[in-house]
Structure 1
Amino acid sequence: MASNAHADRLILTHGSSGSFSFKTACRLVRGPHMHVQQHLPHVLKFVWHSPGLLPRVRLFLWKIINNALPIGGTFAAKMGFLSPLCHVCNSGSEIATHALFFCQFARSFWFASPFSVRFESMPDDPTMLLFHVTSILQGFLFTSFANHLWALWKFRCKHICEGAPLIVDPILKMAEYYNRLSRITSNLTIPKPLRHIWTAQAPNLHEGFNCFVDGSFISTGSAGWAYLLLNGENLIQYELQSGESLSAFEAGLKALSLAVKTAILLELNACSFFYRLFSTSANHGWKTGSRNMSMAVL
């Protein structure tokens, strides 16, 4: 091309300036799925900040958004299935939205659930569908919805891999069980006496469990140990038991046993449990799924 002022030049019509830019090229490559990418940060942020969402359920939602579920033609080939269609209703292509929302059994499950969301009017893309759901269900309602989704997925996998029967009532009971666990995790806070001790004396891995009963705790007039109780509403309550002559080792063993029971309820793996048990950080919360959670204050 000529280099004078009136020479011809290439104009990229997809940009406002007519010149090439990396952002314009990315938009051109994404094409019609650009609107999905715009809603992706909102959905991920909503999932991350949902109150009481269990770690496995949070990871499950992340897999749905990123199309990482073991489903479809690739899963059928690995399992030795001849047809890539839905293995429950055998009437549609097995994708995440069909298996969890549009399948005949999934529709009957959502009809029996406490939610009145009509998924037929929502798009097939998982991110867009969850974006519409987050605009309808807020707070703990979305957490309950995610628990129902997780229970449906678990029973569906058992039906395909183990031949277990698909019945709506057990799935609803399991979803309600996960709702109770979510209420527990969303109401966990560090009590003030323990928070004072936790800041004054952080636990040390080499000192065993002497941190559970220390001098500052006894000087307040409440020589005892802190433990967790579940009341009738399945919420965590903290009680301070005084008047018991317990050594630091005995108190530590009791607190450790309760910590293991709580970890089982929260479905923590071994690595997460021991990290939270022996962490020496002073800025810890009790909410599950967060890297700031610590069970050492037990």
Structure 2
Amino acid sequence: MCAVCNQGEEDVLHMLFHCPFAQACWLMGPLALRTDELPRDLSIILDSLFKHKTDEVWTMLANSAWAIWRCRNEKTYGGKVPTFERFLSILNSVGVETRIAAAANKKKEVQLEVSNVCNSQYRCKVDGSWRSPWIGGLGFVVEDGELLKGYRAAPSVVCSPMQAEAVALREAIHFVKSLNLPSCIFLTDNQDLAKVCMELHPPVDADWRAYREINEVWRLLKEFDYECRHIPRSQNCVADHLAKVEHAADWMPESTEIISLREWADAHATSIIEFEDDMTGDIEEVTI
């Protein structure tokens, strides 16, 4: 008899997919799967769930099954009543362990033409703004020396200043990826964000209001061998200006298009004094 529901025979199929507790976990969990209609054949279930899935979905499926199994063991051997909150707690813990293992085993490709990302000619200055709950903005500008490679200003739905900064950095990374740049240094005036994003292991102690975004940024930085560094706020006025504009705007260059950063800044009402500070500041190293 199932130790969790006392309603069915305790076999692997029932415990992981057909027990009412397991069905609730699958349905309300990250994948929102209905398992009540799955067949009573484990091989068919595994084939239908895991076939043609991405690595990320496959990992979430495996982690969810393991979290359900852990809840069952706690009930069987410790008498602890399983709850959905406990399922999520175990699932998050297993997810962190999975990311740590993936980071440790990742084989980095050696690029002879780019020996150190820190020496990249491309820089992306990023900032996020937050005015009130759920109202914020993001802005970033991608630079190639004194030339403009692209920029974006857009509203964001965020609940805290840290989440606004993390969302801005995440969108900046996706933007740089779309430009197919071989490397890039991301610069933020939020020292806490820069420090946590450059940790060797997933930031398990990140601000809970931006936990998901910070962990996604951490994963993207490691995946593409990007760097994130801190700069003083006085050297980030262009991104700050973009993050606070009232309307969305972005620009990506045509293959033959060349725009001077100074000309662009003048056209967008950024003062020459501020812009010169923005151009001449040094990158501050973050000590981990």
TM-score by length of 1: 0.36
Greater fraction strand:
2
Instruction: Tell which structure's C-alpha radius of gyration is larger.
Output: 1
TM-score by length of 2: 0.38
